[in-house]
Amino acid sequence: MNFILKIWRQKDRNSKGKFEEYKAIDISPDMSFLEMLDAINRDLAKQDAEVIAFDHDCREGICGSCGLFINGRAHGPQHGVTTCELRMRHFKDGGTIVVEPWRAKAFPVIKDLVVDRRAFERIIQAGGYISVDTGAAPEASSIPISKANAEEAMDAAACIGCGACVAVCKNSSAMLFMSAKISQLALLPQGHPERKIRVHRMVEQMDKDGFGHCSNTYACEMDCPKKISVTHIARMNREFIRAKIF
- List interacting residues with another protein (CB under 8 A): 6, 19, 69, 71-73, 98, 100, 103-106, 168, 170-173, 175, 203-204, 206-207, 210-219, 222-223, 230-231, 233-241, 244
Instruction: State the minimum distance, in angstroms, from the CB of residue 174 to another protein.
Output: 9
Query: Residue 214's Cα: distance from chain center in Å?
Result: 16
Name the residue nearer to another protein (CB basis): 40 or 70: 70
- CB 87 → another protein: shortest distance, Å? 19
Q: Considering the complex, state which of residue 42 and residue 118 has its C-beta at the smaller distance from another protein.
A: 118
Minimum distance from residue 219 beta carbon to another protein (Å): 4
User: To the nearest whole angstrom, how small is the minimum distance from the Cβ of residue 132 to another protein?
Assistant: 27
For residue 139, the minimal CB distance to another protein (Å) is 32
Q: Toward another protein, which CB reaches closer, 94 or 135?
A: 94
* Residue (160 or 236) nearer to another protein, CB: 236
Specify the residue, 71 or 130, whose C-beta has the smaller distance to another protein: 71
Q: What is the SS3 assignment for the chain?
A: CCEEEEEEECCCCCCCCEEEEEEECCCCCCCEHHHHHHHHHHHHHHCCCCCCCCCCCCCCCCCCCCCCEECCEECCCCCCCCHHHCEHHHCCCCCEEEEECCCCCCCCEEECCEECCHHHHHHHHHHCCCCCCCCCCCCHHHCCCCHHHHHHHHHHHCCCCCCHHHHHCCCCCCHHHHHHHHHHHHCCHHHHHHHHHHHHHHHHHHHHCCCCCCCCCCHHHHHCCCCCCCHHHHHHHHHHHHHHCC
